[in-house]
Structure 1
Amino acid sequence: MFPYLWEPITYSLLVLFSAFLLASFLSILLTILTMLFSKKNRNRIKFMFYLFESVPDVLVILSAQLLVLFLYKQTGILFFEIASVDMERAFLLPVLVLAILPTVQLFRMSILSFEIEERKDYVTLAQSIGLGKLVIVTFHILRNAVISVFFQSKKTIWFMLSNLFVLELLFNIAGITRFLMSTLQPKMFTIAVLSIFIPLFVFYTVGEIVLSKKANKGEEI
């Protein structure tokens, strides 16, 4: 029973975690870059991201597939597999597409956490001793804000899980969410659900332990 589930489970989790890690990296990078701008320009950037967050996930997926087809028609080069067929599995494009909207969500969370940290006394002290803005944001604000962002990212993971079914359907991926929608056997359904819940539980438990040790809990420089 379990070997039958192993392949869709591992494939779906690989896509999910790859997209989440990519979204986390991009959101933090975008946040750091945004924090270097003036507050006026920062608000403009945030507004553009907030607008983009309202784009439906189906539209993002279809647009990405159409873009790949357009580039293939123009150049003759298929940059990404747009669907899984037999042994040829789509991976890179699903990961990129699944990461787009979570990147925007995580950016919204992280920019809020960064701006809260920016108003604290240790930032003022760092500025008074002549530290540059990039140094303050990267080495001081980041390590204090990252815990809050990590905890809030649980909402993003559940959002990604809801999008995973649509993604697997449109990319013809025989993943775990499609399996959940098709099976009527209680045992198989339970195993499939646990196969998603347990890795996520372990991921966040380990993440909380690591961040609690590594991140700076106080407002020190």
Structure 2
Amino acid sequence: MKKIIHYPFLFLTSIAGLLFFMAFPRLFNFRPSESEHLGMQLSGFIKAIEATAVQFFKPESWGVLESWYQETVIDRYTYSLELIFFSLLFTIFIGSVIAYLFMNLPYKQRIRVKNVLNFFEGIPDLLVIFMMQLFLFMLYREFNIRLVTMYGLAGKEPIIFPMIINSLLPSLFFAQYLIKVMEEEFEKHYILLGQAKGLSKLQLLFSHLTRNIVPVVSIHFKTIIFMVLTTLVLVEHMFVLDGYIKELNKLLQIQNSSPVHIFFYVGVFMLPVILVERFVSLIGKKFGSVRGMDI
């Protein structure tokens, strides 16, 4: 019963959010006598919401497949999805490697690693991307070394470098969260029991602790997914990539663009991401049902 109510409610709130997003600019207007100040016009905002909602019921607004099902749009769509999924895999791999290496370090070195992770946590994504660009430019200009293909040129879109940049900060954030969960888990009684029975630290980490932290990590992984998505917008723009974000931006810039088209374009893009998030949640529930330790 709960799921029957949940999904229609989620659909309706998504449409309401889209209507609010499209009508929001009409909430503000420049006053003719004081052009340097913004005024608020609630009546215009409400009328814009009504006019946008009416378009959902116009038959001509539903011819969205003809504009979406084109070779260029499909290519951009698949390219952006490849970047997202490869970035998520890279994030999981790098974050896990950092966390497991951290757990095997001496106490003093752990403090230094934590300080480094805390430092990178406060750095904006845009600054990291900009510094990486400058570093690669310097290598190419001074030493004629081109490590990776940075920009999309002649119809060939790079994968490796955008994937690395797109998952750099999410992987550090994921590692930081894994470290916190692992340290809390290492204080529990079953770890102390395993140590008393002579199990090595590696056995405890990989055989028992990993299985028990999967349910907690799977809940938090939704944050990592949306971090990758937000970084993708910056990466595609700054590296001139011909991805799906470019297609969405072009659609939003069209005057009187149909809300049905926008809803469909965004929905098709988010559907695989939502399915991945649900898949990770199911894995967490599966591990949670067998949580425990048989030593």
TM over 0.5: yes
Equivalent residue number for residue 155 of structure 2 = 87
What amino acid is aligned across from residue 77 of structure 2 in structure 1?
Answer: I
Alignment of structure 1 residues 34-73 onto 2, 5 Å: 34-73=102-141
Q: How many residues are matched? A: 221
Q: What is the aligned-residue identity percentage? A: 26
SS where residue 78 of structure 1 aligns? Answer: coil
Q: Tell me which of 168, 186, 192 is aligned to 1:118.
A: 186
Contact 1:144 1:217 in 2 (8 A): yes
Aligned partners of 1:200, 1:102: CA distance in 2, in Å? Answer: 16
Q: Tell me which of 253, 257, 272 is aligned to 1:199.
A: 272
In the TM superposition, structure 1's runs of 4+ consecutive aligned residues that sit over 4 Å from their partners are none
Aligned partners of 1:220, 1:145: CA distance in 2, in Å? Answer: 16
Contact 2:215 2:284 in 1 (8 A): yes
Q: What is the CA deviation profile of residues 81-138 of structure 1, one whole-angstrom value per residue up to 9, with x for unaligned ones?
A: 1111231212211100011100111112111111111011110111011111122112
RMSD of the alignment, in Å?
Answer: 1.9
In the TM superposition, what is the alpha-carbon distance from 1:74 to its structure 2 partner? 4.4
User: Could you list the runs of 5+ residues in structure 2 that have no partner in the other structure?
Assistant: 1-66, 252-256
What amino acid is aligned across from residue 218 of structure 1 in structure 2?
Answer: G
Alignment of structure 1 residues 37-186 onto 2, 5 Å: 37-183=105-251, 184-186=257-259
In the TM superposition, what is the alpha-carbon distance from 1:15 to its structure 2 partner? 0.6
1:26 aligns with 2:94: yes
Aligned partners of 2:173, 2:294: CA distance in 1, in Å? Answer: 28
Contact 2:121 2:172 in 1 (8 A): yes
In the TM superposition, what is the alpha-carbon distance from 1:160 to its structure 2 partner? 2.0
What amino acid is aligned across from residue 217 of structure 1 in structure 2?
Answer: R
Aligned partners of 1:103, 1:27: CA distance in 2, in Å? Answer: 5
What amino acid is aligned across from residue 183 of structure 2 in structure 1?
Answer: E
Equivalent residue number for residue 218 of structure 1 = 292
Rg bigger for which structure? 2
Contact 1:27 1:107 in 2 (8 A): yes
Aligned partners of 1:75, 1:135: CA distance in 2, in Å? Answer: 46
Aligned partners of 2:269, 2:174: CA distance in 1, in Å? Answer: 21
What amino acid is aligned across from residue 73 of structure 1 in structure 2?
Answer: R
Contact 2:92 2:171 in 1 (8 A): yes
Aligned partners of 1:114, 1:192: CA distance in 2, in Å? Answer: 40
SS where residue 50 of structure 1 aligns? Answer: helix
Further displaced range: 200-209 or 162-171:
200-209
In the TM superposition, what is the alpha-carbon distance from 1:20 to its structure 2 partner? 1.4
Aligned partners of 2:107, 2:179: CA distance in 1, in Å? Answer: 12
1:3 aligns with 2:69: yes
User: Could you list the runs of 5+ residues in structure 1 that have no partner in the other structure?
Assistant: none
In the TM superposition, what is the alpha-carbon distance from 1:167 to its structure 2 partner? 0.9
In the TM superposition, what is the alpha-carbon distance from 1:211 to its structure 2 partner? 4.0
In the TM superposition, what is the alpha-carbon distance from 1:75 to its structure 2 partner? 4.4
Further displaced range: 134-143 or 63-72:
63-72
TM-score, normalising length: structure 2: 0.69
SS where residue 190 of structure 1 aligns? Answer: helix
Aligned partners of 2:115, 2:293: CA distance in 1, in Å? Answer: 29
